[in-house]
Amino acid sequence: MRIRQGIRRVRRQSRGERFIVGTPHVLIIVQNLPLPLDRRVWLECQALRDAGYEVSVICPKGPGDVPYQLLDGIHLYKYRPAPQANGVLGYLLEFSYSWLRTARLSLRVWRRRPFAVIQACNPPDTYWALARLWRARGVRFVFDHHDLNPELYLSRFGEPTRLAGRLQLAALRWLERRTFRTAQRVISTNESYRRVALERGGVPREHTAVVRSGPDTTVMRPGDPVPALRRGAEHLVVYLGIMGPQDGVDSILDVAHDIIAARGRTDIRFALLGFGDCLAELRIRCTELGLDEHVEFTGRADPAMIGDYLSTASVGLAPDSFSPLNDVSTMNKVMEYMAYALPVVTFRLAETMVSLGDCGVCVESGDVSGFADEVVRLVDDADRRTALGAAARSRAEQVLDWRPQATAYVGVFDDLFGRTGSELVRTGE
């Protein structure tokens, strides 16, 4: 009620005003990561800025972040994140808290300067309700579809057999439908997600666009290795990404145990870059397996750290196993490894194969021993590593690079505003 009243007050205050023409203002909402840590969303912000749009973002704070910052011409509004969720009630509290904090900050953004579009990035699928409140002010809604929440539930818990589980899954599907039906445009990260928007969401094809989370290969490129990161080992293999229940990072510990304990390959060191719900459990299991001397958890990694580790590593690891979610999701880490000319070992997944092409090694899902075999083979074959790495870098530059994705992304907003051919004016080209 307070949010609705606040929007009404804003409406009264803005009556009779003539909004600035020629510089459309876009508000982007993201809940699961702060910016600029969320690489995809930060690239989107930069693409809109370079095309002449004004961009504001509402997101949670990261460590040491301030409530408001103008960073590289982008307005960042941040709120203190909710406590880590546990159980259904915990998630409801987290989503409600984040939604209310976001709604309140949207009033603050509007008072600074009215926005014409809200872009919401999921998870969760709840910001359609905020978009509906702002629709009375003529604000349009773009949905940037990052995750399939019904598939995420099924991947974690399986098909529900009890009433409570069925109700939770039904609620997720309802929220997804409301999001699709509210959006004027839907941006999908790959063709599999676009198919969901078309078939399950009923979105007209002309209102959809595919914008892959491609790496900016002018920035993400191999640099000089840092031998100290190997900690005395001959080879470093790396995992980069979130460490949640569906990400399969526990499989890396099984692979490390197979390689180090069973095969005695102490010349190989493992570095796991990132954070997530499972990080504490993974550290405990690493100790239980006796791997602390050979496995490093870096925690949250900034771009400089990522560059150093990926430039030093021999192999990049993608341990995501088959699930309803993983099979149709694009794994950003695979494309990031490729940008750094790293050969990749991965479990076989449909969309991962689309990204990877023939620039890595695929193992059937769940085959930990086979995964370990391929890591060792790559480590021991420098010529093959070099050839796969060069092919990966070439594919990253020519097929997966962010530049054409940025053009498609900006095109969604140009279409909404009736603009023609926005040019990326700050790229130096």
- Closest Cα partner for 336 from 372, 309, 358? 309
Neighbours of 1 (CB within 10 A): 5
97 and 156 in a single domain? The answer is yes
**Is residue 69 a part of any domain in this protein?**
yes
Res 420: pLDDT = 72
**Is residue 222 a part of any domain in this protein?**
no
**Is residue 190 a part of any domain in this protein?**
yes
Q: Check residues 401 and 83 and name the one with the higher pLDDT.
A: 401
Residue burial 264-277, b: 16+ Cβ < 10 Å; e: rest: ebeebbbbbbbbee
Q: Assign residue 275 the CATH number of its domain.
A: 3.40.50.2000
Least confident of 19-28, 48-57, 134-143, 380-389: 19-28
**Is residue 428 a part of any domain in this protein?**
no
**Sequence-ordered alpha helix ranges (H) in 183-220:** 191-199
Q: Hey, what are 336's tokens?
A: 């990031």
Band the pLDDT of 405: cuts 50, 70, 90.
very high
Per DSSP (E only), the strands in 220-325 are 235-240, 268-273, 295-299, 315-318
Band the pLDDT of 422: cuts 50, 70, 90.
low
Torsion 92-97-100-101 (CA) sign: negative
Torsion 96-99-101-103 (CA) sign: negative
Res 3: pLDDT = 57
Q: How many domains does the chain have?
A: 2
SS3 content of the chain, % helix, strand, coil (to 5): 45, 15, 35
Is residue 256 within 8 A of residue 270, CB to CB? The reply is: yes
Task: Give the C-alpha separation, 165 to 394, whole Å.
Answer: 45
SS (H, E, C) 324-342: CCHHHCCCHHHHHHHHCCC
Question: What mean pLDDT is predicted for residues 385-394?
Answer: 97
Tokens 């990253």 correspond to: 396
188 and 281 in a single domain? The answer is no
**Is residue 221 a part of any domain in this protein?**
no
Q: Is the pLDDT of residue 1 over 60?
A: no
Q: Cis before residue 123, ω within 30 degrees of 0?
A: yes
Res 91: pLDDT = 77
186 and 57 in a single domain? The answer is yes
Task: Give the C-alpha separation, 298 to 307, whole Å.
Answer: 13
201 and 236 in a single domain? The answer is no
62 and 114 in a single domain? The answer is yes
Torsion 130-131-132-133 (CA) sign: positive
Q: Is the pLDDT of residue 423 over 80?
A: no
Percent pLDDT > 70 in the chain is 93
Res 14: pLDDT = 44
Task: Give the C-alpha separation, 83 to 91, whole Å.
Answer: 10
Question: What mean pLDDT is predicted for residues 206-235?
Answer: 96
395 and 408 in a single domain? The answer is no
SS (H, E, C) 5-16: HHHHHHHHHHCC
**Is residue 424 a part of any domain in this protein?**
no
190 and 312 in a single domain? The answer is no
- Closest Cα partner for 62 from 17, 31, 85? 31
165 and 307 in a single domain? The answer is no
Residues with Cβ within 8 Å of 57's Cβ and at least 6 positions away in sequence, in order, are 27, 28, 29, 30, 35, 41, 45, 74, 75, 76, 77
Q: Is the pLDDT of residue 17 over 70?
A: no
Q: Is the pLDDT of residue 309 over 90?
A: yes
Q: What is the pLDDT of residues 118-171, one digit of tens each?
A: 999 999 999 999 999 999 999 999 999 999 999 999 998 899 999 999 999 999
347 and 406 in a single domain? The answer is no
**Is residue 429 a part of any domain in this protein?**
no
Question: What mean pLDDT is predicted for residues 22-40?
Answer: 92
Neighbours of 278 (CB within 10 A): 18
Task: Give the C-alpha separation, 181 to 203, whole Å.
Answer: 7
Neighbours of 77 (CB within 10 A): 21
Q: Is the pLDDT of residue 30 over 80?
A: yes
Q: Check residues 19 and 369 and name the one with the higher pLDDT.
A: 369
Kindly give the interhelix angle for 2-14 and 87-112, rounded to the nearest 10 degrees. 10
Q: What is the pLDDT of residues 333-365, one digit of tens each?
A: 999 999 999 999 999 999 999 999 999 999 999
Res 428: pLDDT = 37
Q: Is the pLDDT of residue 182 over 70?
A: yes
Task: Give the C-alpha separation, 344 to 362, whole Å.
Answer: 8
Question: What mean pLDDT is predicted for residues 307-318?
Answer: 98
248 and 235 in a single domain? The answer is yes
157 and 49 in a single domain? The answer is yes
Q: What is the pLDDT of residues 271-300, one digit of tens each?
A: 999 998 899 999 999 999 999 999 999 998
Expressed as residue numbers, the domain containing 63 is 2-14+23-214+402-417
Least confident of 154-163, 216-225, 389-398, 414-423: 414-423
81 and 120 in a single domain? The answer is yes
Band the pLDDT of 239: cuts 50, 70, 90.
very high
**Is residue 427 a part of any domain in this protein?**
no
Res 425: pLDDT = 45
